[in-house]
Amino acid sequence: MQTLNALLITIICLFTVAFNTNKATAQQKKRIILDADTGNEVDDLYAISRALIEPSWDILALNATQWQTSHWTVPESMENSHRLNGVILGHLGMQVKRCRGGAARMFDWGDMARHSAAAYEIIKQAKNTPEGEKLTVIALGALTNVASAIYIDPEIESKIALYWLGSSYDFEKGILKKNDFNCVMDVQALEIMLMSKVEMHVIPVNVASAMTFNFEETKSKLMDKHPLGNYLVERWEQHLDGSRKERTIWDLGIIGAVLNPEWVEEVEITTSKDNGNRKVFYYKSVQADKMRTDFFEKLLAFFEKN
Which residues neighbour 221 within 8 Å (Cβ) at sequence distance 6 or greater? 229, 296, 300
Which stretches within the chain are classed as H helix? 2-28, 43-52, 77-92, 117-127, 144-152, 181-184, 187-195, 205-208, 215-222, 227-238, 252-259, 288-305
The DSSP H or E segment spanning 270 is strand 264-270
Q: Which has the closest alpha carbon to 47: 283, 292, 300? A: 292
- What gap in Å lies between CA 282 and CA 290, rounded to an integer? 19
- What gap in Å lies between CA 306 and CA 300, rounded to an integer? 10
**Residue 202 in 3-state DSSP?**
strand
What is the chain's pLDDT, residue by residue, as a tens digit (306 residues)? Answer: 555 555 555 444 444 444 444 443 445 899 999 999 999 999 999 999 999 999 999 999 999 999 999 999 999 999 999 999 999 999 999 999 999 999 999 999 999 999 999 999 999 999 999 999 999 999 999 999 999 999 999 999 999 999 999 999 999 999 999 999 999 999 999 999 999 999 999 999 999 999 999 999 999 999 999 999 999 999 999 998 888 999 999 999 999 999 999 999 999 999 999 999 999 999 999 999 999 999 999 999 999 999
Residues 208, 253 contacting (CB under 8 angstroms): yes
Domains of the chain: 29-305 (3.90.245.10)
Question: Per-residue pLDDT tens for 220-262?
Answer: 999 999 999 999 999 999 998 888 999 999 999 999 999 999 9
Amino acid sitting at position 257: A
pLDDT at 1: 55
In the DSSP assignment, the letter for residue 205 is H
Q: Which has the closest alpha carbon to 116: 42, 189, 43, 202? A: 189
- What gap in Å lies between CA 161 and CA 195, rounded to an integer? 15
Q: Which has the closest alpha carbon to 303: 228, 218, 217? A: 228
